Amino acid sequence: MIYIVFICSLLFSSSNENLLLEMYAISDWEHLEISDKKNIYEAESKINNYKYIKIEKEVSRNVESILNNIQSIENWNQIISNKNIETKLLSTNNDTLVVMQTISNAIPFTKNRIYIFKLFKVNSNRIDWYLTTDYNNFLENYMDNNNYLLSIGAGSWQIKKMGNKNKLIYRLYLDDEVNLSSMIIQKLRINYAVDIFNDMLTYQTGEK
């Protein structure tokens, strides 16, 4: 029954929204490692060619401050420690933020990756994002021979309550469209995701 509902949902959603549906429908995540008390997983996608990533860790600090970090796009250039990632807030529409992000020098001898995504609060414990082409007019001054536009990707931040404890979970899928070994690319994706997870978890205003 759940599978039927999932398939029906795919028929009426955009491709990147489908990624969000699929990542929450996955039950057979493969556990890769434990790093600094973080559990890291991956799972095959039935929609696209690459694998999902999931990172989770029990958290003791105020979860509201973590969610505020994730929603504070205007602070991401401070929050994210990897300075090859540049973030710019393009517009705000009610609770939906439209954001442009550029990843420079991510992989030697490849173009910078650039994309626009929508970020929005699903409920008090969950924030989602997905890539969109609806705002590509913003990119006119950015697209040149050094930048490559990505179109497939989505992610979700979730606080899961476990009795007196909370767990921060980040699910992610991003197609970098790089013509290299999938194993190498997946490792790079995981490293990027873990770094951003750590940044969102540990950043406190004025302390980084």
User: What domains lie within the chain, and their CATH numbers?
Assistant: 2-202 (3.30.530.20)
CA pair distance 42, 32, nearest whole angstrom: 7
Q: What is the pLDDT along the chain (208 residues), one digit of tens a residue?
A: 444 444 444 433 458 999 999 999 999 999 999 999 999 999 998 877 789 999 999 998 889 999 999 999 999 999 999 999 999 999 998 889 999 999 997 676 788 999 999 999 999 999 999 999 998 888 888 888 888 999 999 999 999 998 888 999 999 999 988 877 888 888 989 999 999 999 999 998 544 4
CA pair distance 88, 6, nearest whole angstrom: 33
Nearest to 170 by CA among 111, 128, 118, 207: 128
- The Cα-based distances of 5 to 10, 12, 13, 21, 158 in angstroms read 9, 11, 13, 10, 22
According to DSSP, the residues that pair with 31 across neighbouring strands are: 41
Task: Report pTM.
Answer: 0.88
CA pair distance 196, 44, nearest whole angstrom: 22
Give pLDDT, residue 14. Answer: 58
